[in-house]
Structure 1
Amino acid sequence: MATLVLTAVGTALGGPIGGALGGLLGRQFDQNVLFKPKGVEGPRLQELAVQTSSYGSQIPRIFGRMRVAGTVIWATDLKETRERRGGGKGRPKSTIYSYSACFAVALSSRTIKNIGRIWADGKIFRGSAGDFKTETGFRFYRGQEDQAVDGLIASAEAASGTPAYRGLALAVFEDMDLTDYGNRIPSLTFEVIADDGTVSLAVIIDDVSGQKISASVDEPLHGFAAGGQNRREVLDAIGDNFSLSFQMTSFRSWPSHMMEAAARDLDPDAVILPIGDNILSRQNGQPVDRAESRILPETKLPRQYTLRYYDPARDYQSGLQNAFRPGMSRVVLDRDFPAAISAAQAKNIAQTKLWSLYQERVTAQAHIARTGEPVMPGTFVRTDDGDDIWLVRNCELNHGSIALGLSKATSSLVTADRPTDNGRPVKEMDALAGVTRLALIDLPFALDAPIQVSDVPRLYAAAAGDIGWRNAQLFATGPNGSNTDLIGQIAAPAIIGTAPAPIGPSGAHIIDRKNRLVVQMHNRNMVLNDADRAQLSAGYNIAAIGAEIFQFGFAKPIGDGRFLLSYFLRGLGGTEKEMDRHSAGENFVLLDGSSLTEIDPRHYVPSQPAGIAAIGRGDEEAVSQVIDDPGRALKPWSPVHPRFAFNRLDDLEISWTRRSRAGLAWPDNIETPLAEETEQYRITIGSNAPVEQAQPSVVIPADQVQDYRDTGAAMLPIKVQQVGRHDISDPLSFTVKI
């Protein structure tokens, strides 16, 4: 006896490709399960997520719509650009360095139609509208055999030695700004559009086999990446997940299709070949068994089938679906399928494969005479008058007979529609940046150290835009509005909004339960949250409304990007004077240290107007703001709690409580240090010239009080200010009835 050697036949007829296909068919004949993997080195899901640049890397053939990493095949050295900024008014000049790169990425060894979105280090780099989030030149080549040489590559290389990379789909980037990516070329992934709409599995098999296998399988896929060491590995990946039957067609059709692929489940219209009369009971004078079925033990069959795939609904992140059947088996089949499919389709593929493996556990062998046309693998046969239909899985040629390996024909699995969970998607927002909105906040403390005394002003910039806004460059501006010094970059959008109506006044020493504040957020992705008392004590929900610093406990969404705030701690950081100065349309800024950028004091002068400008990706020109009197962190807080009384000599005794710029916290109930070099107060009594003294109290003699009475005044106005090393506080103003 001799096994049918199809590898040799394929090589003789079709060269190496035919040999590979013949070997594929022969291997199928020798196994119970089509394309049972043996150390598969074909396309794995994780390989499609990592950009490579090594010599000899595979360039997959892309079908439908897929997200692929590609291979960097050409690049220049990083291009360094230096720009001098600043100077004037005693300010030092600064040199700004920026870097860009030019490179080309091979995406597909099959012609494509277009490129959709592009991700850089997992973040959207090119949106679905074709907008780039970072400055770059870009063009792509479809991978046609007559495509022209790229002009950039030709200019960088010798013209006679510049390849056109014909047959490869390319993406070419020119002077891509690398600032957002640590001055390196980021890992890019591309949404490659190779075909309009879905692509049939039959089209993929036809292309991968080099038009040697025709298929009647009409399974639509969103996308497929054909990669591997050879064609057979790609077909392995397909055969691992679909129960297909391959059979030879007439050799007369060479060099067209040599084989046909069809689903192994029984088609109601399939031709059933009766072979009962041809089954031999004796061979070479020896009795042989007629077709008798054998059943593979249930414990050797898989009980669970796990399928990994790419989910288009999750920006092509890998998904996983499981199919189960009851039984005592512990066998689990774990398969990768480098295709973009829905979660429901992946679930059906896993269930169908698991069902077919269970049904095909019944096998048999029959010997038939070698007469007429041979019975080819993939043929449905009936061995007797019973109802059983068998599929020919393999055949073995003997001297006077053919031994057929049979398996019970499977019925189609009817999959019921059921909810399928594809997991929570982690999707990068694809939106336009819009115009930058800039707000300047002059804080009385440092955000990163609020209880420490500040000897420098604390001016912060907050910015945001539409949902796709990411960052902006920050500049100091001159008197004519021109950009002078580069301050840095606002690296994250702040939570900012507008108060359509002013918040009402309140006491700084109580919890404000009376007032409400409506805030219109700058875009719909900005969210405010509640904070309980413990969180408020820990500094949660601290914000600026106009020039007042406050905290809020409740933030109720009321629709259209608006929140209703209530339960306030008002006038924080010595800003109680601002509680009565609110107006409609003021800026609201959540004071989150991770999204605010501190402006170095060398870019402005305290107590003098300072201009700041921001330029984001969506700005046609710089967005500017001016703050009139920065430097609240240097200013002492006004004294509080005035006390006064007339003594027995009719002298007026006045005292007050001092406050410290380090007074945001009261640790261990110990009096807070003054945080100034000396304790000094400026007192103004009535219309007299102010006087300064070191004690937090003053005595107005009785005769001086009488002089005020003689003028007809019934009230004596008093102002007390604390004098600090850098500035003087706002006055504590009160009147005394005389």
Structure 2
Amino acid sequence: MATLVLTAVGTALGGPIGGALGGLLGQQFDQNILFKPKSVDGPRLQELAVQTSSYGSQIPRIFGKMRVAGSVVWATDLKETRETSGGGKRRPRSTTYSYSASLAVALSSRSIKAIGRIWADGKILRGKAGDFKTETGFRFYNGHEDQRVDSLIASVETMAGTPAYRGLALAVFEDMDLTDYGNRIPSLTFEIIADDGTVSLGIILDDISGERISASADQALDGFSAAGPNRREVLNLISDNYSLSFQTKRSGMIASKSRELDPDHTILAVKDTLLSVHNDHAVDPAESQIVPETKLPRQFALRYYDPERDYQSGLQNAFRPGQSRVVRNRDFPAAMSAGQAKRLAHAKLWSLYQERATAQVHIARTVQPVSPGAFVRIDDSDDIWSVRNVELNRSSMALGLSKATSILAVADRPTDNGRPIREQDALAGPTRLALVDLPFAIEAPTQPSDRAKLYAAAAGNVGWRNAQLYASSTNGSATDYIGQVAAPAIIGTAEGALGSSGHHIIDRKNRLVVQLHNRTMMLNDANSEQLWNGNNMAAVGEELIQFGFAEPIGNGRYLLSHLLRGLGGTEHEMDRHATDEDFVLLDGPGLTKIDDRHFTPFQPFELTVIGRGDAAPVLQSIDLPGRALKPWSPVHPRHRFTVNGDLEIDWTRRSRAGLLWPDHIETPLAEETERYRVSVNPSLVHEPRQPSITISADVVQEYRESGVSILSLEIRQIGRHNISEPLSLAIAI
């Protein structure tokens, strides 16, 4: 418009020269201001983007196998569920809340065959076996035109206003448990299986063009996501990456063909039809130009979806020699192997370089067809040109040409597709549960406690994530809800019975073979400083130990050695080991503290655990929990006979407050009063209030006269809640 106006004004004011200047100014105004092309965002990888729920969101057409986020097209408000448990003696009523939601997600505007895995916030929600890691109802609609209305949506909405979403592949979740996702709807991504096996470019082009493009392209892709402002953008994306030309046939169909030159292509000679005059103006027979090498990309980076990495975006680079510093980045929303992406990037980089030479020629219109995609020779040289576009005039044709590209043979070689970041996809399996009664709190081992310290450790197969804990009643039913085991603990089985040893030395004699519960669990060595800081502490049966060396011996088995024994006052358990005892790593993850309002110390207690892979609740019991309330037995007994024949016996007390002494002088008491019970042979009982007793010479003589040559003593500390294990000693008299 401005071209016509300013040309006329320029001619009126300045004659032919003024008209030319006005036309040039008007052309620049038209191109850059009045009819400036609208900015269009190019295609981007969107499979791991946060799923949308806004009105007007585009639903892509999915081909092959892809991972997509989808769009939420229907959802309910969060549903709150209350569960009240407890009550009665020492058990106040407690109420727990859980939340769930129902929603429908549109996945593809092209019908698909199935849904594979599903991820929620990047974690596996549904595995390859079809198992859900979180409690939810699920239904899938493949997007056919006879699709039925979902029963859940129909029950919430009025039947007359409930769409069936025909033509849209749909996933419906019913009462999806949101506990694992912070009581919010997580971002979901889906593995979509739209076609069996790979899909060819021909099928994709045929579908996107509404069956108007017949393609000879036989390149196969694992998957493709057709999304963009319109069909033209998607077609441009494909043709640009694969260097395709499109030619309209007489029937109205469009044929696509590769711009690469191979020996079977027909080469047209147009030298004799070149025109030197066009529209009464002299023209060069062949106006050619070459783009400087420095303006062409020296590096081409292609981003794509890598099926070997759970459809995470991959990046393959191609390089060529030269002085250019230009880097071209391209997103291609297709799933393909790393090697295929490497070859595509390499071919695209060199095609840009080879097509840097362009030409504009005018030829006479003849019966010989010359259309986009044809190959021509315009002189006597060996140069072959590809027809990029054709402009038809009355008696001539203007051809836009580029130097024909040759087929580049790219050698197949190993291509690094990067380290995959995968979420474990495995069945949860049945839950294994162990109860550990500790003499101290894991979070504060040096502080005395007036409450029992009972912990639950649970795990399953590799896919096990969590389980729900309940206190059991006398009839075995789950009553009080305790909480959730949020992570698997490192547990296993001790093969063979651990031998006895002195508890005041490092046990270098005994070794223990431990079979861990699943293949993802690991044990590590610990040096002296780490052992001092409490690393590698474990419960083997009822004894607490630390281990310095953990040697893997295959199949999830470890040989433990360099042992510290009888920790936390458990030295009396060293002689009570049996085969197949529970092994629990105490400084590892997954230990769940059980509040003592759910059990009574020193009374039998049974726990119930329910996990995703459990066909029935798993029960575990413990006889007398409350070791943290029990004093530790005294140590270091000493005795001597006085000059008058009295027998003096003393010892050193230990404290359940731990091994650190605040004043560095005396062991802390950690009890209301200091009291001991001393049994002698065993009828004579003393209860001193200090760590010593004296047996008079007369009593000693009575034992001798009755034929006793050895006095057997058991010394126990009396605590506020219980009495300690005995310190035993024998004295010859």
Helix, strand or coil at the partner of 1:347: helix
Shift of 1:38: 8.5
Helix, strand or coil at the partner of 1:526: coil
Change (3 A) 1:40 1:690: farther
Whether the aligned pair in 1 keeps the contact of 2:661 and 2:668 (CA below 8 Å) is no
Whether the aligned pair in 1 keeps the contact of 2:90 and 2:597 (CA below 8 Å) is no
Change (3 A) 1:92 1:236: same
Q: Distance in 1 between matches of 2:662 and 2:292?
A: 75
Helix, strand or coil at the partner of 1:241: helix
Q: Distance in 2 between matches of 1:38 and 1:533?
A: 70
Shift of 1:353: 0.6
What is the match of residue 626 of structure 1?
Answer: 621
Whether the aligned pair in 1 keeps the contact of 2:62 and 2:226 (CA below 8 Å) is yes
Q: Which residue identity lines up with residue 711 of structure 2 in the other structure?
A: L
What is the match of residue 204 of structure 1?
Answer: 204
What is the match of residue 382 of structure 2?
Answer: 387
Whether the aligned pair in 1 keeps the contact of 2:258 and 2:373 (CA below 8 Å) is no
What is the match of residue 232 of structure 1?
Answer: 232
Shift of 1:438: 0.7
Q: Deviations over 1:436-481 (max 9, x none)?
A: 1110000001111111111100000011111111111101111111
Q: 1:552 aligns with which of 539, 547, 555?
A: 547
Q: 2:688 aligns with which of 693, 699, 709?
A: 693
What is the match of residue 539 of structure 1?
Answer: 534
What is the match of residue 599 of structure 2?
Answer: 604
What is the match of residue 141 of structure 1?
Answer: 141
Q: Distance in 2 between matches of 1:47 and 1:66?
A: 8
Task: Report 1:34-433 matches (<5 A).
Answer: 40-46=40-46, 48-250=48-250, 253-254=251-252, 257=253, 259-283=254-278, 287-291=282-286, 293-373=288-368, 375-397=370-392, 400-433=395-428
Whether the aligned pair in 2 keeps the contact of 1:49 and 1:69 (CA below 8 Å) is yes
Counterpart check, 1:710 vs 2:705: yes
Task: Compute the TM-score of the two structures, normalised by the length of structure 2.
Answer: 0.92
Q: Percent identity?
A: 70
Q: 2:584 aligns with which of 580, 589, 592?
A: 589
Q: Which residue identity lines up with residue 98 of structure 1 in the other structure?
A: S
Shift of 1:289: 2.6
Q: 2:447 aligns with which of 444, 452, 460?
A: 452
What is the match of residue 7 of structure 1?
Answer: none
Higher alpha-carbon deviation: 379-388 or 665-674? 665-674
Task: Compute the TM-score of the two structures, normalised by the length of structure 1.
Answer: 0.91
Number of equivalences? 697
Counterpart check, 1:500 vs 2:495: yes
What is the match of residue 580 of structure 1?
Answer: 575
Shift of 1:405: 2.2
Shift of 1:201: 1.4
Q: Distance in 2 between matches of 1:567 and 1:736?
A: 33
Helix, strand or coil at the partner of 2:124: strand
Q: 1:526 aligns with which of 521, 528, 540?
A: 521
Helix, strand or coil at the partner of 2:416: coil
Q: Distance in 2 between matches of 1:443 and 1:639?
A: 19
Change (3 A) 1:677 1:236: farther
Whether the aligned pair in 2 keeps the contact of 1:42 and 1:227 (CA below 8 Å) is no
Shift of 1:292: 5.9
Whether the aligned pair in 1 keeps the contact of 2:682 and 2:713 (CA below 8 Å) is no
Q: Distance in 2 between matches of 1:148 and 1:518?
A: 59
Shift of 1:323: 1.0
Task: Report 1:650-669 matches (<5 A).
Answer: 650-665=645-660
Shift of 1:124: 1.2
Q: 1:511 aligns with which of 498, 501, 506?
A: 506
Q: 2:674 aligns with which of 670, 679, 698?
A: 679
Gaps of 5+ in 1: 1-36
Change (3 A) 1:661 1:335: same
Change (3 A) 1:82 1:413: same
Shift of 1:145: 1.1
Q: Which residue identity lines up with residue 603 of structure 2 in the other structure?
A: Q
What is the match of residue 34 of structure 1?
Answer: none
Shift of 1:429: 1.2
Q: Which residue identity lines up with residue 577 of structure 1 in the other structure?
A: H
Counterpart check, 1:721 vs 2:716: yes
Helix, strand or coil at the partner of 1:377: coil
Q: Which residue identity lines up with residue 248 of structure 1 in the other structure?
A: T
Q: Which residue identity lines up with residue 716 of structure 2 in the other structure?
A: Q
Whether the aligned pair in 2 keeps the contact of 1:360 and 1:410 (CA below 8 Å) is yes
Shift of 1:53: 1.0
Q: Which residue identity lines up with residue 235 of structure 1 in the other structure?
A: L
Shift of 1:576: 0.9
Shift of 1:667: 6.9
Helix, strand or coil at the partner of 1:524: coil
Higher alpha-carbon deviation: 345-354 or 666-675? 666-675
Helix, strand or coil at the partner of 2:399: strand
Shift of 1:495: 0.8
Q: Which residue identity lines up with residue 186 of structure 1 in the other structure?
A: P
Q: Deviations over 1:314-343 (max 9, x none)?
A: 111111111111221110011111111111
Shift of 1:668: 8.6
Change (3 A) 1:365 1:514: same
Q: Which residue identity lines up with residue 246 of structure 1 in the other structure?
A: F
Over aligned residues, Cα RMSD in angstroms? 1.9
Helix, strand or coil at the partner of 2:569: coil
Q: Distance in 1 between matches of 2:411 and 2:448?
A: 69
Q: Deviations over 1:337-373 (max 9, x none)?
A: 1111111111111111111111111222322123335
Q: Distance in 1 between matches of 2:179 and 2:191?
A: 23
Q: Distance in 2 between matches of 1:91 and 1:81?
A: 22
Q: Distance in 2 between matches of 1:65 and 1:672?
A: 69
Q: Distance in 1 between matches of 2:189 and 2:489?
A: 28
